[in-house]
Amino acid sequence: MALERILTHPGGAHKDEFLACSLLVAVHGVEVIRREPVAADLEDPATAVVDVGGEHDPAKNNFDHHQFPADHPPVCALSLVLQHLGLYEDARAFCDWLEPAEWFDTRGPNVTAKWLGLDRDTLAKLNSPIDVTLLRRFAKTSRLVPGDPIYEMMRFIGEDLIEFLRSLRQRLDFVAEHSQLWQLGDQEILFLPRTEPIPEEPSSGIGRYLESIGKSKEVVALVYPDRRGSGYGLSRHNDAPAFDFTRIETQEDVHFAHARGFVAKTSAADEARLRELLEIARVP
């Protein structure tokens, strides 16, 4: 049965149900209603009941977490909708903000601040006026339909999050298939060869890929196709001090080296020459 409406609680709005509804808006494009559910809503799979109702039953599109016991791992309505869409594991891996959002919604600001190693006042200083305005305007509504400014913003947010997660997973699979790990002395460098067509952002996803294979700390430099030319970009990974690319700025085939030494661009395309440039750039 196709979804016909999204229902969430009235009153104060929070990030978890706002984002959960945004994902469902992006997928289904149906109205959002803010009121308390009745029994018929919970039984109707055409009505997604989000962050209210005391029931988690994806088969009926019910996504509430408040009935979970106090010692349940931190999950919120957003978590449940992400699970339903098959995006949760990637979101936990690639969205650094998700786990703190789960803690904040289920454990409150004091416990979350302690978990993050912050004091409550520091956590409050991270509040964004963008979040405040969107949530305040959302809280003032009782019904949102396509075309409403807040509804369309929710659609954009949901679409962008879904696109980010799905495209990043594809990108990680691409990097896993094509990349090579070079050994330069006792240091590791990730090399991503040029493919056709060249990705719009050739270096995107490399950092996340290295995290996924447990190499984020071991790899100290990256070599990847330059989308603005036929050569390659060379850069430090995690700003590792092992390379200073100003050391190659006078090389004939190097057309850019940042003054701070963390990145350079070369027209060289031969792997042997790229390795030679890396050797020259190594800090003794």
The pLDDT of residue 236? 97
CA distance 48 to 121: 36
- Residue 129, classed as helix, strand or coil, is helix
- Structure-block tokens of residue 262: 């963390």
CA distance 67 to 205: 37
The pLDDT of residue 197? 84
HEC string of 234-277 equals EEECCCCCCECHHHHCCCCCEEEECCCCCEEEECCCCHHHHHHH
**3-state DSSP helix/strand/coil % of the chain, to nearest 5:** 45, 20, 40
CA distance 176 to 169: 11
pTM: 0.81
The pLDDT of residue 200? 79
CA distance 5 to 24: 9
Contacting residues for 207 by C-beta, under 8 A, at least 6 apart: 216, 237, 238
CA distance 143 to 33: 4
Residue 58 DSSP label: G
- Residue 65, classed as helix, strand or coil, is coil
CA 143 to chain centre: 29
CA 187 to chain centre: 29
CA distance 254 to 232: 10
The pLDDT of residue 255? 96
Residues of the chain with pLDDT under 50: none
Are residues 50 and 81 in contact, defined by beta-carbon separation less than 8 angstroms? yes
CA distance 283 to 52: 58
Domains within the chain, CATH numbers bracketed? 5-167 (no CATH), 179-281 (3.10.310)
Over the stretch 152-178, which tens digit does the pLDDT of each residue have? 999 999 999 999 999 988 899 999 999
The pLDDT of residue 227? 87
The pLDDT of residue 228? 86
The pLDDT of residue 204? 85
Residue 11 DSSP label: S
Are residues 50 and 8 in contact, defined by beta-carbon separation less than 8 angstroms? yes
CA 15 to chain centre: 16
